[in-house]
């Protein structure tokens, strides 16, 4: 059975590129447009990994990471930040909140797949 990956990003184009990359590699994909949308959808799927952008409306990525890591049902799910942000202080904050990896946009599809394979196989 294919592993399921959630993509949380307000940019439809980014979600589409990541979705295509992951589906072509055999993964199932669930999309969410922001943190609140992700929280609604996560309970309906057995998610193995989450890609999250930092800057989104309604609930940003950092808030989503902290919310998920505080919940016993979801704290085990690895989270990868996929963002334009590359400031070391923001990266440290993300890691402290529970992010497992950091991918900076623009990215190559191979980079996304390498990160996924390293974390969940």
Are the C-beta atoms of residues 115 and 101 closer than 8 Å to each other?
Answer: yes
* Paired tokens of 69: 């890591």
Domains of the chain: 4-120 (3.40.50.2300)
pLDDT at residue 1 tops 80: no
pLDDT digits (tens, 9 = 90+) for 6-60: 999 999 999 999 999 999 999 999 999 999 999 999 999 999 999 999 999 999 9
71 pLDDT band (50/70/90 cuts)?
A: very high
For residues 3 and 66, what is the distance between their CA atoms, to the nearest angstrom? 23
Q: What is the mean pLDDT of residues 112-116?
A: 97
pTM: 0.95
């Amino acid at each position: 059975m294919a592993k399921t990956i959630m993509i949380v990003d307000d940019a439809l184009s980014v979600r589409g590129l990541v979705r295509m990359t992951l589906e072509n590699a055999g993964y199932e994909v669930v999309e969410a447009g922001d943190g609140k949308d992700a929280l609604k959808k996560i309970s309906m799927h057995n998610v193995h990994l989450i890609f999250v952008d930092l800057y989104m409306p309604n609930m940003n990525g950092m808030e989503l990471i902290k919310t998920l890591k505080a919940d016993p049902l979801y704290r085990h799910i690895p989270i990868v930040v996929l963002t334009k942000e590359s400031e070391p202080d923001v990266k440290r904050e993300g890691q402290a909140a529970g992010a497992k990896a950091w991918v900076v946009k623009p990215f190559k599809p191979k980079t996304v797949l390498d990160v996924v394979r390293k974390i969940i196989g």
